[in-house]
Structure 1
Amino acid sequence: MLFKKSLLILCCAFSSTAFAERWFEVEVLIFKQRPAPYLQEDFSLKKEPIKASNKVDLLTPLYTQQAKQDCIAGDSRFNSTSLTDTVIGASRSSLCDDTIDYIASYDSLPLSPEAEARDDMVSTYLLNPEQLQFKSQQRELVRKGLKPLLHTGWRFEGASKSRSQSIKLFGGQHLSTPPIANSNLNNNASFISLVNPVQTLEPVTQQTQDKWELDGFFNIYLRHYLFINTNLDISEKLDNGEIQSARFSQFKRVISGEVHYFDHPKMGMIVQIRKFKH
């Protein structure tokens, strides 16, 4: 009896260890579709912000690091040089410090973040561009005149729905609208200045919109099968200067090793989940 209990405990421990070591890597290539002249769907409705649990942002630290190195190399996009800095002859490394909002300084983000090549199973990490396999698909998209927005991948431990991570994805152009002054307040200010010349009012501006062409979350969880649950916004600036977003929400059961295509009137996504060391 004692032998059976010991054997059962050993089997459970082995099964738990085996599950914990089920690692995967996923590759994602997201691109913008051509404008559809006869598209009937209305994307003008305002949407609630995307909600996600267990959020993990792997892109921001790498894009920030990449931009900082470009700044030190003299890239004017991240130039923080002031007149004082010029006079005292400050070095590039001292000018390119952590006070700069490097992400906001990008007009358009690099297609693939420059992650270092890793081969461990410690925590979730991005793949190095050389480890990506959709290079021919990326070239084919460009050849067809389609615009890739993000091409990346990451390695992660297979986890249940409650423990799985929601990976933040964003890319493409940096879209923003200029602040709009409240003209009614400006007119009232002229009237008030006649009544009370001492009183002045600062012009009030409407809050600006500031977002990327692509922004959202990508979640993979394991429950006997692999499931992909992704919610992304694909945005564009209209002729009137406003930013319009379309919601891309997809849920799909997938098989590792197979290439899966997700379609939407505004964007497309190519995904493959591959087993890693098992």
Structure 2
Amino acid sequence: MTAWLRNSIIAVMGLCSMSAGAQQSPADWRWFDVEVLVFKHAPNDENESFPWHPPRQFEAQNDLLSAFYAPDFSAFLHALDICPEENLTRPVFCAMPSELDPYSVWYDSARIMSGFSAAPATIISGYGGDMQTQPGPFLLASEEFEFADFREQLIRRNVGTPLLHATYRTPVFNRAENYKVRLFGGRNFGPEFLPNGYPQLPFVALEPAAEHSSKQVPQLFEELESLLNRVEQQQLQLSYRDHRTPNPPPLLAARERSERPTPVWELDGTLHIYLVGNYLHIDSDLELREPQRVQFNQRELAAQIEQALQPQLDSKFLRSYRLNQLRRVISHETHYFDHPRLGLVVQIRRTELSARR
């Protein structure tokens, strides 16, 4: 390697390290205020075809709402006395030994929120923060809202139902940083549906089911006769055609009664705001989930016959409607992202630390 090439590589690496070092301090970041209003449209009679998407589980670098809905009160517990062992009932102001164990990670926001029937709040009023020292984005108070009138008009005119309204202050980096913020709200379908969209599993039976000793032969003849009649009347057509509906649910073991269901929110997804040069971009990846009755896509001949004999096998499925849109935007302008089922309104506002440095 020539001395010139070696020196060039060292210089480039030095510039990269200086650039990375400049991003270490929050005071060196470019901060913006982001107001988001997400709502679902009122039901309509339009027969628009959408794919049967299952829900997805979203994990983002920044989840402001989980900590807001289920705050970590570990520090409060450490300031309490340990609960006395002789008492079977737990007093109000004491801490269990397991909660004070430094090697026990008992705090889990998803576990806490699994008992929520819905997100505790639609209109988020945060506690604010100092962007000079804050290590990441933080929620602002509701006094910062500019979409309040628009939100009230949605409700008053029965145009849509708000699912989330929040304003947060966030640093904005380039696209490669993948600095996303998770947004969720609405109903919690976790007690009814699994994260993959299929109905929740039954609980383990407390007692073994009694065996049926009655003969099944007459019932089989009745089912066969019913099946042949439906074929003759062309009410049943067996085929291997793909109906573009979800496949039947996988065979899984029943769940324990102590098991907490994973939260599955009516609205879930991420918002990625980033800079390309000096231009702001919004990349939305949101889902609206709705329970719908579905006839599972049975490709096996035996399964189709069983489904024909037992129409109650038709089940519900948590269908997902996705809003994926990418747009270059201008700060202080209101931007609307539309979908037949879902609406997103976003405004990005500059702060005193928004300018390029």
TM-score over 0.5 for the alignment? yes
Distance 1:23 1:50 in 2: 28
Amino acid at match of 1:65: P
**Structure-to-structure mapping, 1:171-190, within 5 angstroms:** 171-176=185-190, 177=192, 178-180=200-202, 190=211
Aligned to 1:112: 123
Q: For the Cα contact (< 8 Å) 1:209–1:243, is it kept in 2?
A: no
Residue 168 of structure 1, CA deviation: 1.0
Residue 265 of structure 1, CA deviation: 1.0
Q: Using the TM superposition, name which of 19-28 and 263-272 deviates more.
A: 19-28
**Structure-to-structure mapping, 1:1-278, within 5 angstroms:** 20-46=28-54, 49=56, 55-65=61-71, 88=89, 90-91=91-92, 101-109=111-119, 110-121=121-132, 122=134, 123-145=136-158, 146-176=160-190, 177=192, 178-180=200-202, 190=211, 204-205=253-254, 210-223=263-276, 224-238=278-292, 240-277=315-352, 278=354
Normalised by the size of structure 2, how large is the TM-score? 0.55
Q: For the Cα contact (< 8 Å) 2:124–2:164, is it kept in 1?
A: no
Q: For the Cα contact (< 8 Å) 1:26–1:271, is it kept in 2?
A: yes
Q: 1:161 to 1:51 in 2, by over 3 A?
A: farther
Residue 22 of structure 1, CA deviation: 2.6
Distance 1:220 1:266 in 2: 23
Cα-to-partner distance string for 1:79-99 (whole Å, 9 max, x where unaligned)? xxxxx98x746216769x866
Distance 1:128 1:164 in 2: 26
Amino acid at match of 1:258: E
Distance 1:112 1:29 in 2: 9
Q: 1:113 to 1:104 in 2, by over 3 A?
A: farther
Q: 1:220 to 1:113 in 2, by over 3 A?
A: same
Residue 132 of structure 1, CA deviation: 2.1
Task: List runs of 5+ in structure 2 lacking aligned partners.
Answer: 1-14, 74-85, 100-105, 193-199, 213-251, 294-314
Residue 160 of structure 1, CA deviation: 0.6
Task: List runs of 5+ in structure 1 lacking aligned partners.
Answer: 1-8, 69-83, 192-202
Distance 2:152 2:69 in 1: 23
SS at match of 1:56: coil
Distance 1:104 1:92 in 2: 24
Q: For the Cα contact (< 8 Å) 1:158–1:164, is it kept in 2?
A: no
Instruction: Give percent identity, aligned residues only.
Output: 27
RMSD over equivalenced CA pairs, Å: 3.7
Q: 1:50 to 1:210 in 2, by over 3 A?
A: closer
Q: For the Cα contact (< 8 Å) 1:20–1:157, is it kept in 2?
A: no
Q: 1:161 to 1:36 in 2, by over 3 A?
A: same
Q: 1:132 to 1:88 in 2, by over 3 A?
A: same
Q: 1:102 to 1:117 in 2, by over 3 A?
A: same
Distance 1:116 1:214 in 2: 23
Q: For the Cα contact (< 8 Å) 2:54–2:318, is it kept in 1?
A: no
Q: 1:51 to 1:171 in 2, by over 3 A?
A: closer
Amino acid at match of 2:65: L
Q: 1:242 to 1:65 in 2, by over 3 A?
A: same
SS at match of 1:169: strand
Amino acid at match of 1:226: L
Normalised by the size of structure 1, how large is the TM-score? 0.70
Q: For the Cα contact (< 8 Å) 2:274–2:280, is it kept in 1?
A: yes
Amino acid at match of 1:214: L
Residue 127 of structure 1, CA deviation: 1.5
Residue 128 of structure 1, CA deviation: 1.9
Q: For the Cα contact (< 8 Å) 2:163–2:186, is it kept in 1?
A: yes
Of Structure 1 and Structure 2, which has the larger fraction of its residues in strand? Answer: 1
Q: 1:133 to 1:93 in 2, by over 3 A?
A: farther
Distance 1:252 1:160 in 2: 15
Q: For the Cα contact (< 8 Å) 2:188–2:266, is it kept in 1?
A: yes
Q: 1:90 to 1:30 in 2, by over 3 A?
A: same
Distance 1:263 1:219 in 2: 17
Cα-to-partner distance string for 1:192-231 (whole Å, 9 max, x where unaligned)? xxxxxxxxxxx93389785100011110001121000011
Q: Give the count of matched residue pairs.
A: 231
SS at match of 1:62: helix
SS at match of 2:69: helix
Q: For the Cα contact (< 8 Å) 1:24–1:157, is it kept in 2?
A: yes
